[in-house]
Amino acid sequence: MSLLHTFYPQHLLPTGEQCPVCADPINLVVCLPPVAGRHLLALAGDLVDRLRLHVAAAAGLLDTRHFMLWRRPDPTEARLLVLPAPDPQHPGLTWCAGGPVGLLDLATTAHRLRECAPPDLDDWHATVAGTAPARPWWHYLDAHNADPDRYPAAQAIADFEAQPRITAMVAAPATKAGERFTPDMYGPGLEALHTGDPGVYADYQAGLLTFGDGLLTLDGQLLIPSFSPVLVEQTLAERQVFHDRARNYVAALDPTTLLVAVTCLP
């Protein structure tokens, strides 16, 4: 099966028919003013009002596994969080869809990812040992989009998948969580790995996990990494600029400001 089926999953209608125009959902983080004891229904209404100018379907789903808390919140903290729930495999950890910035352990998440980065890089280097650096998928897609007649999509796909390093990554044994390398590891993630710098790789992962596909600010501005909502089509440079803007914005917020993660259609 082509990697493109992984990059662009085929959507199915309830009838079983394929829906070629259905878009993949995106994950946005929305900033909301601090309001103690906010009711969930009021929160949902606030989210819809803020999202309707930016997405096709503003009534999205709260992403209950977006923010990781590296602890069990006390009862007071739990009341301020949005849908907190303990991790079923690791009871000492807690997932939630959001809450006050000061309670979301964003700095701890970044620190933990920096600790994980060196062994992750070592594992990747072992997987691709003996292969030449590979170009990410967006390189071939850009060439196709620049001249579709002279460089058709089928040729772009074949050239991308023929790279020995890509072949080695695809052939790597799956983990319990699924495929060894997620789709973004063939796009901006691949560029981060190629730097050989654990700090660059960890910062990329932290920005991706924290800010997803976009950050909606308090004044209604939507910060996004690229015109393409498809992660594997984005460049590392685009992601880094977006992550830096989002981090700087969130760092300047009052710690009681709410961040809420939502899955919706672009």
Q: What is the pLDDT of residue 12?
A: 46
pLDDT digits (tens, 9 = 90+) for 78-93: 999 999 999 998 889 9
Max mean pLDDT among 38-42, 43-47, 189-193 falls in: 189-193
User: Under a CB-based contact definition with an 8 Å cutoff, are residues 230 and 7 in contact?
Assistant: yes
Across the range 24-31, mean pLDDT stands at 90
pLDDT digits (tens, 9 = 90+) for 170-199: 999 887 766 789 999 999 999 999 999 999
36 pLDDT more than 60: no
Q: What is the pLDDT of residue 241?
A: 98
**Confidence band, pLDDT 50/70/90 cuts, at residue 34:** confident
Q: What is the pLDDT of residue 14?
A: 42
Q: What is the pLDDT of residue 5?
A: 74
110 pLDDT more than 90: yes
Alpha-carbon distances of 171 from 111, 119, 188, 228, rounded to whole Å: 31, 20, 20, 28
102 pLDDT more than 80: yes
pLDDT digits (tens, 9 = 90+) for 148-175: 999 998 899 999 999 999 999 999 988 7
Place of tokens 């996004």: 224
Question: Given CA atoms 132, 182, 160, 232 in this order, what sign does their dihedral have?
Answer: negative
Q: What is the pLDDT of residue 10?
A: 55
Q: What is the pLDDT of residue 58?
A: 59
pLDDT digits (tens, 9 = 90+) for 57-72: 655 689 999 999 999 9
Alpha-carbon distance of 60 to 264, in angstroms, equals 4
Place of tokens 């998928």: 137
1 pLDDT more than 90: no
The pTM of this model reads 0.91
215 pLDDT more than 80: yes
Q: What is the pLDDT of residue 210?
A: 97
User: Under a CB-based contact definition with an 8 Å cutoff, are residues 134 and 168 in contact?
Assistant: no
Q: What is the pLDDT of residue 159?
A: 96
Dihedral angle computed from the Cα positions of residues 25, 226, 166 and 202, in that order, rounded to the nearest 10 degrees: -90
Q: Please, which residues bridge with residue 216 across strands?
A: 30, 222
Q: Work out the mean pLDDT of the chain and round it to a whole number.
A: 89
Q: What is the pLDDT of residue 177?
A: 65
